Amino acid sequence: MLTAFYLIHLDAGAQETLVTGTVKNLNDEFLEAVSVVVKRTSQTTLTNHLGEYSISVQPNDSLIFSYAGMEPQTIGVSGRKVINIIMRPAAGREQLEDVVVVAFGTQKKSEIVGSVTQVKPEELKIPSSNLTTALAGRVPGMIAFQRTGEPGADNAEFYIRGLTTFGYGRGPLILIDGIESTTNDLARINVDDIQSFNVYKDATATALYGSRAANGVIAINTKEGKKGKTNVTLRVETSLSKNTKDVELADPITYMKLNNEAILTRDPLAPLLYSEEKIDNTVPGSGSYIFPATDWRKELFKDHTINERINLSLSGGGDVAKYYVAGTFTQDNGLLKVDKRNNFNNNIDFKTYSLRSNVNMYIFPTTEMIVRLYGVFEDYNGPIYSGGDMYTRVMRANPVLFPPYYPIDEKHKYVTHIMFGNYDGTYLNPYADMVKGYQDRGRSKIGAQLELKQDLKAITPGLKARGRLSTDRHSYFTITRQYIPFYYGLSNYNIRDNTYNIYLINEAQGRETLSYDEGLKQINSTIYGEAAIDYYRTLGAHTISGMVIGYFQERLNPNAGNIQESLPFRNIGLSGRATYGYKNRYHAEINFGYNGSERFHQSHRWGFFPSAGIAWTVSNEPFFENLKDKINNLKLRATYGYAGKDDIGSASDRFFYLSEVNLNNSSYGAVFGRDNGYSRPGISISRYSDPNITWETSRDANFAIELSFLRKLNLIAEYYIRNRYNILQQRSSTPASMGLWAQPQTNIGEAEGKGVDIDLNFNHTFKNNYFIQLMGNFTYATSRYKVYEDYNYPGAPWRDRTGYPINQRWGYIALGLFADEAEVANSPTQGFGEYMAGDIKYKDVNGDGRITELDMVPIGYPTTPEIVYGFGISGGNDRFDISVFFQGSGRSSFWIDPEATAPFTPYYYNSDERNSGIKYVNQLLKAYADSYWSEDNRDLYAMWPRLSTYPITNNIQSSTWFMRNGAFLRLKHIEIGYKFTPQLLKRIGLSSARLYLSGVNLYTWSKFKTWDIEMAGNGLRYPNQKVYNLGLLVNF
């Protein structure tokens, strides 16, 4: 290695002198790959990652420094030995990041052939401790949406170029510093720590990741230290968070009246639940314990909450080492109220701490060692049930039978517990559920990474080798502590003198002391390693490069719950890339990934995924010379290739080549004997073996145009066609008479995706330092079934999925509500059980006189949006700045969940609720109370059909009745900032400081008013949040 270093010196020759130096930009950052040319000989060199160069010259030579996007400089040597250069941006044009991080390496922007979207990290900076919530509308090519605002559970869903698969794994591969990471890891990463955020969308960009790349890749690299004195950055934010919208419920009087109506309208025999006396005497807000009118939401939730975020980073270094160390603290609070009588906190208090340390060391001049250490720690304190569960509980609590708790009266003066209200012990008291205990959760993820880079220019110029080893450990636990509430009920009352007695309902079950319940304990570990050889050389007009990389990855979940999931998850692969460029006009690239996955049978374990692409920079052609002042960049790109996906089934369905058998399934056991004394469990099969199951594969074509106009307006537009095949799907040709336990699955499905990503921005700086910037991006991603094995629906071609979008729903066409029994009798029979006048009437599409599955047609748009867009404007000067950003989504439908909202009927979200013995009876939404079918008011187009106190299967069929358009536009982010003057800052030792005010989700335009539309059909959970934020960013 040392020899290699000296070789360069020897090579320099004795008669010439060696000039060395560094190249920086205006921000004092070292520039890599700046070309340094001796004007006389055209001898060329590039600066290294430290911005250093050395080149041999004669004393009176001139050097030309050039770097894309920068003003070239010509400097006379004049006998100097050291020449340091500061490059300035080319006139009228903002500095572009010229080197792009691509799969397993970097490329010059001008040489890029594949579809790589660079996102400026600062664009993702919103006042949130969850990065994923910032993605929607910011990344061309990404479909993203957020369904809940609960702290700690508010990850947005996101798909690169939409969904082109109906198989299992749908999300992109997420790489943080080259390591496969989870959505949660992405959510917790601090934007201030991000150096580059890139999205790889087509096969050329992703092929090297082979079997894991078919859904696209998000690659994030964290910041590295910069040579120079220590730079400290501190960001402090405080924000106020509140619900974007609360679901409105009917008032208690209406609730009782309609509940009685719901009973009578289906069964005139049944006794009423609420007496006239009760209805007449209930007064909302009276605080009466005899005739309670409980606003559960008010009892449980606060109007707003305050959250904090602090991020501190230090960066600096010298010739031998440089460092970047950052620490982040965030605290998100929930909206839940806390009962002072308990001395524990049952509100959500979600703290995250992270520490990141990236250190680059130059152990030899040609050898760089990078050590990256990071830890992310989450501490959660909250209610026993999730915040979302508390919201859904409020939606199922009775508002008129009892208060949250009774005050301590004379008879109960020695009681030390809270006297929770109930009717008979079987009703849901969400207040009691909320304050009866609390849950602690902890998550930690610690990772360490060692990377070595060796410049092998001693062997041949441009040759480099590197290797990386990385491991991380993840752990997660929960623990709950709770008491069992004592419930009190009203035993008798005297309405005249307003006195009442209460009695203890659950004397036998209640408990004052806390119990302790060990919850989940998850741990897992990942090991990853790679080794690569890189070559890059410019020879005259030709630029060639090549790379070969081998990698392995192992992930282990030791307490996975079953043997098959406990086995290590492994990937291993060999990938390579070769590029060729001519005169910076023509570029070609070939990539491949050759990958193995442990999930498949030996004969199908390895997959080969090649891709190729070409690019033509028209603006660099001689004939374009005249146009170049106006159109300063015009580039056309095209790529074609393959990418795979091994994530075709859930973790429990990993090894499709093996059968899965439960040899002790008590549900399939039997018992015998006079007193049932002899029992044995049974044997069940959950999967049959099939050795032929293999990768899902994507075949992508991508066409793009890059255009830069007057150095102000930049446009990148891409069009893609993506063909997915070998999608795993269940065989539907197997009749039940086959008697199988589980439907066989096979790689039979095919789908096709198409779409457009457009990224547009405009920058202008006025003479007086004012600037304006407009940006917009647009993603349209649609996909269709091409091959889908489905039932053979006789005479119903509309049931064929081929040609319809993935996530398209099929359902019945609702014609309205039945007006009367005569209409019911004279209409086609609807085969979903009980129905009568006021229930939903469906269209007999095939005209056979009855409504069956053959009458289901495709309805609405797909459930994931096909269009996501964002646009914004920002402007200001060197003191003030303001930016406004809008985000919208289009072409999606959602369905109001008719079971979760059906008034007065029981609804359970999970089996724990179902088996609890507690009545979870739906509340009455105001929207329904205002518009429903009744015998007196036969509104055929009312929002809710005839009331009932039990589920009416006829009305909960998938149909157009509850379908709504999911399109919306929202004012996503607005920010006003002020930069303090340097004079002021100098006095207190700061180099820069910016104070800013921002807001998120401030206003939404949509037709749907019942709840926040982005939550789609699931609006009864923890709502999305509206945030007002104050932040300060200082540097010193």
Partner 1 sequence: MQRKLFIIVMLITLSLTACKKYLDVVPDNIATIDHAFNMRQQAEKFLFTCYSYLPRHSVLSGSANENPALGAGDELWFHNFYQPYSWNIARGFQNVVNPYNNFWQGTQGGKDLYQGISDCNIFLENIGRTPDIDQSERLRWIAEVKFLKAYYHYYLTRMYGPIPIKRVNLPINADPETVRVFRDPVDSCFNYVVQLLDEAIADLPDLITNEADELGRVTKPIALAIKAEVLVTAASPLFNGNPDYANFKDSRGVQLFNPVYDPEKWVKAKEACKEAIDACHAAGHKLYYYSQSVRQYNVPEVIRTQMNIRNAFNEKWNAEIVWGNTNSMVDNLQIQSTPRGLDPALRASRSTLGNCAVPLKIAALYYSKNGVPIEEDNSWNYGARFNLTQGTPENKYYIVNEYTTVRFNVDREPRYYANLGFDGGVWYGQGKFDADDTWYVSSKKGEPAANIANDSYNSTGIWPKKYVNYVNVIQSNTYSRENYPWPIIRLANLYLLYAEALNEVNGPSNEVYYYLDLIRQRAGLPGVVDAWTAYSTNPTKPSTKEGLREIIHRERAIELMFEGQRFWDLRRWKKAIDELNQPITGWDIDQVTPAGYYREKVLYQQTFGLKDYLWPIREVEIFANNNTVQNPGW
Pair of tokens at residue 960: 């157009």
Q: Which stretch binds partner 1 (CB under 8 A): 208-216, 268-276, 615-623, 813-821?
A: 268-276
Quick check: helix, strand or coil at residue 17? strand
Q: Which stretch binds partner 1 (CB under 8 A): 450-458, 525-533, 664-672, 994-1002?
A: 664-672
Decide: is 663 part of the binding site for partner 1 (CB under 8 A).
Answer: yes
Among 49, 223, 266, 481, binds partner 1 (CB under 8 A): 266
Query: Rounded to an integer, what distance in angstroms lies between the CA atom of residue 412 and that of residue 410?
Result: 6
Nearest distance from residue 486's CB to partner 1, in Å?
16
Among 6, 766, 770, 791, binds partner 1 (CB under 8 A): 791
Give the residue with the Cβ less far from partner 1, 344 or 678. Answer: 678
Decide: is 985 part of the binding site for partner 1 (CB under 8 A).
Answer: no
Decide: is 673 part of the binding site for partner 1 (CB under 8 A).
Answer: yes
Query: Rounded to an integer, what distance in angstroms lies between the CA atom of residue 590 and that of residue 547?
Result: 10
- Which parts of 287-326 interact with partner 1 (CB under 8 A)? none
Site map (CB under 8 A) of partner 1, residues 573-612, x = contact:
-----------------------xxx---x--x-------
Query: Rounded to an integer, what distance in angstroms lies between the CA atom of residue 549 and that of residue 569?
Result: 20
- Cβ neighbors of 539 (< 8 A, separation 6 or more) are none
- Which parts of 184-213 interact with partner 1 (CB under 8 A)? none
- Which parts of 834-853 interact with partner 1 (CB under 8 A)? 834, 851-853
Among 28, 29, 267, 625, binds partner 1 (CB under 8 A): 267
Quick check: helix, strand or coil at residue 495? coil
661 secondary structure, DSSP code:
E
Decide: is 668 part of the binding site for partner 1 (CB under 8 A).
Answer: yes
What residue type is assigned to position 229 of the chain?
K
- Which parts of 713-732 interact with partner 1 (CB under 8 A)? 732
- Which parts of 414-443 interact with partner 1 (CB under 8 A)? none
Decide: is 233 part of the binding site for partner 1 (CB under 8 A).
Answer: no
- Which parts of 495-514 interact with partner 1 (CB under 8 A)? 508
- Cβ neighbors of 202 (< 8 A, separation 6 or more) are 114, 115, 611, 613, 639, 641, 700, 701, 702, 718, 720
Query: Rounded to an integer, what distance in angstroms lies between the CA atom of residue 159 and that of residue 176?
Result: 17
Q: Decide if 551 contacts 468 (C-beta within 8 A).
A: no
Nearest distance from residue 837's CB to partner 1, in Å?
16
- Which parts of 543-572 interact with partner 1 (CB under 8 A)? 552, 563-564, 567-568, 570, 572
The residue written with tokens 């500061």 in the block is 86
Nearest distance from residue 733's CB to partner 1, in Å?
4
Decide: is 832 part of the binding site for partner 1 (CB under 8 A).
Answer: yes
Nearest distance from residue 957's CB to partner 1, in Å?
9
Give the residue with the Cβ less far from partner 1, 501 or 689. Answer: 689
Query: Rounded to an integer, what distance in angstroms lies between the CA atom of residue 275 and that of residue 287?
Result: 19
Among 676, 768, 826, 983, binds partner 1 (CB under 8 A): 676
Give the residue with the Cβ less far from partner 1, 630 or 731. Answer: 731
Quick check: helix, strand or coil at residue 609? strand
Nearest distance from residue 270's CB to partner 1, in Å?
6
- Which parts of 935-964 interact with partner 1 (CB under 8 A)? 949-950
Give the residue with the Cβ less far from partner 1, 45 or 659. Answer: 659
Among 123, 589, 660, 706, binds partner 1 (CB under 8 A): 660
Among 246, 295, 690, 899, binds partner 1 (CB under 8 A): 690
Give the residue with the Cβ less far from partner 1, 10 or 663. Answer: 663
Among 793, 908, 980, 1028, binds partner 1 (CB under 8 A): 793
Q: Maximum Cα–Cα distance for the chain, whole Å? A: 115
DSSP string, 206-264: HGGGGGG-TT-EEEEEE----SEEEEEEEEEEEEEEEES-PPPB--HHHHHHHHHHHHH
Site map (CB under 8 A) of partner 1, residues 891-930, x = contact:
----------------------------------------
What is the chain's alpha carbon radius of gyration, rounded to the nearest angstrom?
33
Give the residue with the Cβ less far from partner 1, 540 or 795. Answer: 795
Give the residue with the Cβ less far from partner 1, 14 or 671. Answer: 671
Decide: is 519 part of the binding site for partner 1 (CB under 8 A).
Answer: no
Decide: is 487 part of the binding site for partner 1 (CB under 8 A).
Answer: no
Query: Rounded to an integer, what distance in angstroms lies between the CA atom of residue 428 and that of residue 922?
Result: 11
Decide: is 216 part of the binding site for partner 1 (CB under 8 A).
Answer: no
- Which parts of 738-767 interact with partner 1 (CB under 8 A)? 738-741, 744
* Number of neighbours of residue 968 by Cβ within 10 angstroms: 20
Tally of residues, the chain: 1036
Give the residue with the Cβ less far from partner 1, 43 or 684. Answer: 684
Query: Rounded to an integer, what distance in angstroms lies between the CA atom of residue 107 and that of residue 807?
Result: 37
Pair of tokens at residue 856: 């289901």
Among 661, 710, 984, 988, binds partner 1 (CB under 8 A): 661
Quick check: helix, strand or coil at residue 160? strand
Number of residues in contact with partner 1, rule: CB under 8 A? 76
Decide: is 688 part of the binding site for partner 1 (CB under 8 A).
Answer: yes
961 secondary structure, DSSP code:
G
Q: Is 1000 exposed, middle or buried (0-12, 13-18, 19+ CB in 10 A)?
A: buried
Decide: is 659 part of the binding site for partner 1 (CB under 8 A).
Answer: yes
Distances 179 to 130, 354, 356, 526, 744 between C-alpha atoms, Å = 19, 17, 15, 9, 34
Nearest distance from residue 846's CB to partner 1, in Å?
12
Site map (CB under 8 A) of partner 1, residues 847-886, x = contact:
----xxxx--------------------------------
Which stretches does DSSP call E strand in 253-348?
304-317, 321-333
Give the residue with the Cβ less far from partner 1, 426 or 559. Answer: 426
Give the residue with the Cβ less far from partner 1, 350 or 569. Answer: 569
Query: What are the counts of helices (DSSP H) followed by strands (DSSP E) for the chain?
Result: 14, 52
Among 271, 285, 287, 622, binds partner 1 (CB under 8 A): 271
Decide: is 1035 part of the binding site for partner 1 (CB under 8 A).
Answer: no
- Cβ neighbors of 494 (< 8 A, separation 6 or more) are 500
- Which parts of 137-176 interact with partner 1 (CB under 8 A)? none
888: enclosing H helix or E strand: strand 880-890
Decide: is 525 part of the binding site for partner 1 (CB under 8 A).
Answer: no
Q: Which stretch binds partner 1 (CB under 8 A): 232-240, 607-615, 748-756, 831-839?
A: 831-839
Q: Decide if 676 contacts 239 (C-beta within 8 A).
A: no
Nearest distance from residue 657's CB to partner 1, in Å?
9
Nearest distance from residue 692's CB to partner 1, in Å?
9
Minimal CA–CA distance to 791: which of 806, 807, 810, 814?
Answer: 810
Give the residue with the Cβ less far from partner 1, 622 or 673. Answer: 673
Q: Decide if 568 contacts 577 (C-beta within 8 A).
A: no
390: enclosing H helix or E strand: helix 387-394
Distances 738 to 348, 659, 662, 732, 743 between C-alpha atoms, Å = 51, 17, 20, 12, 10
Nearest distance from residue 301's CB to partner 1, in Å?
31
What's phi and psi for 744, nearest 5 deg? -65, 150
Decide: is 263 part of the binding site for partner 1 (CB under 8 A).
Answer: yes
Among 792, 910, 937, 983, binds partner 1 (CB under 8 A): 792
Minimal CA–CA distance to 656: which of 728, 723, 753?
Answer: 728
